[in-house]
Amino acid sequence: MDIITIDKQGEKVRLDDVPTTPPKKADREAAKRELDALGEELFDLQDLLWGARMHSVLIVLQGRDTAGKDGTIKHVAGYLNPRGVSVTSFGVPSEEEREHDFLWRIHRDTPRKGELAIFNRSHYEDVLVVRVHGLAPESLWKERYGHIRDFEEMLTEHGTLILKFFLHISREEQEQRLLDREKEPRKAWKINAGDWEDRAHWDDYTKAYEEVLTRTSTKKAPWTVVPADSKWYRNLVVARTLAETLRPYRKSWQERLDEVGTKKKAELEAWRKSKGG
Ligand code: ATP
């Protein structure tokens, strides 16, 4: 099994059975070329999305510490026009956020029509870190899977295309990345003792992620498990999945833009006539 996309609620996933490394046949140089081509296509698609104003796009990035959420944003969003992209990182909730329901801060940053929003962590933390560290009673977080499905369904009814990525790294790769932060002076600023603390909860997080995948995968808001031990392959899978999701809309966005163009030409023509030109 290579990359898996789960688009059905109830499907059981065992993360230990899903690879964290690229398939043997994957070639780094070919991947780089494909990523560049996908980047150009994504820039183009994003332009149509922006102009047509029919849909918005929401990308949710989740993963354990060091899984590469920031790197994915840098590399994949780097191909896009910053004009229509927003990135929101969700850290520990502020007092004001805690005093609202868990989706309040999330809803504020969902994309408007034409925009593409990337969430670095998200509402899923409320059934991950909250569950693993017992930050809320079980009776509260258990209900959240259903709330999340309903919330995402509402967004999709409003025209939001939702893609959710779990960046899947191995325990060994995470250790290596954490140690690199100590070895390389330029990376030392990222050191956080809490990451080592969370590592001790590896199995609890695995269980929590598996439940997220099983309970919140839907046709319109699927999860993709991305093998993320190799950064080049991780970026390729995310870009490819995004392009595959947006591609089917190209025609309708283009048609909408053609309609708008025809209408604007007619308006200009009428204006010229009114001026006697
Ligand atoms: P990252 O590890 O995401 O690159 P970071 O280490 O710089 O980022 P912040 O962005 O300040 O840290 O915050 C991330 C932390 O916030 C994570 O430990 C995450 O589990 C925690 N967090 C996010 N959402 C919640 C939540 N709803 N409740 C409690 N903790 C949360």
Give the residue-averaged pLDDT of 23-42: 96
- Closest ligand 1 atom number to CA of residue 194: 18
Name the band, by pLDDT with cuts 50, 70 and 90, for residue 2: low
Assess whether the C-beta atom of 90 lies below 6 angstroms from ligand 1: yes
Predicted confidence (pLDDT) per residue in 254-270, tens digit: 999 999 999 999 999 99
* Structure letter (DSSP) for residue 52: H
DSSP 123-149: GGGGGTHHHHTT-S-HHHHTTHHHHHH
Count CB atoms within 10 A of the CB of residue 213.
22
Q: How far is CA 121 from the centre of its chain?
A: 9
Residue 277 has pLDDT above 60, yes or no: yes
Count CB atoms within 10 A of the CB of residue 122.
21
Q: CATH code at 118?
A: 3.40.50.300
Residue 217 has pLDDT above 90, yes or no: yes
Going by alpha carbons, the residue nearest to atom 13 of ligand 1 is 91
From the list 7, 1, 31, the residue with the least C-alpha distance to 220 is 7
Give the residue-averaged pLDDT of 97-106: 98
From the list 122, 136, 1, the residue with the least C-alpha distance to 62 is 122
Query: CA 134, 136, 139: angle at the middle one, nearest 5?
Result: 105
* Structure letter (DSSP) for residue 76: I
* CB proximity list for 219: less than 8 A, separation 6 or greater: 7, 8
Residue 161 has pLDDT above 50, yes or no: yes
From the list 155, 153, 97, the residue with the least C-alpha distance to 126 is 97
* CB proximity list for 253: less than 8 A, separation 6 or greater: 45, 48, 49, 51, 52, 54, 55
Predicted confidence (pLDDT) per residue in 64-100, tens digit: 999 999 999 999 999 999 999 999 999 999 999 999 9
Query: What are residue 85's DSSP bridge partners?
Result: 116
* Mean pLDDT rounded to a whole number for the chain: 96
Task: Give the span between the Cα atoms of 166 and 138, in whole angstroms.
Answer: 23
Is 209 in contact with 130 (CB distance < 8 Å)?
A: no
Q: In the chain, how many domains are there?
A: 1
- Tell me how far the alpha carbon of residue 122 lies from the centroid of ligand 1, in angstroms: 9
Query: What are residue 225's DSSP bridge partners?
Result: 4, 166
Hey, CA dihedral for 158, 214, 142, 99, is it positive or negative? negative
Look at residue 117 and give its three-state secondary structure: strand
Assess whether the C-beta atom of 53 lies below 6 angstroms from ligand 1: no
Question: Residue 24 corresponds to which amino acid?
Answer: K
Name the band, by pLDDT with cuts 50, 70 and 90, for residue 166: very high
Q: CB-hemisphere CA count at 13 Å for 104?
A: 10
E strand map for 10-136: 56-63, 85-89, 116-120
Task: Give the span between the Cα atoms of 159 and 157, in whole angstroms.
Answer: 5
Which pair of structure tokens corresponds to residue 160? 């939001």
Name the band, by pLDDT with cuts 50, 70 and 90, for residue 276: confident
- Tell me how far the alpha carbon of residue 118 lies from the centroid of ligand 1, in angstroms: 15
Going by alpha carbons, the residue nearest to atom 14 of ligand 1 is 91
Structural domain including 195 reads: 4-274
Report pLDDT for 4: 87
Task: Give the span between the Cα atoms of 153 and 43, in whole angstroms.
Answer: 27
Q: Could you give the percent of the chain with pLDDT greater than 70?
A: 99
Residue 1 has pLDDT above 70, yes or no: no
Name the band, by pLDDT with cuts 50, 70 and 90, for residue 40: very high
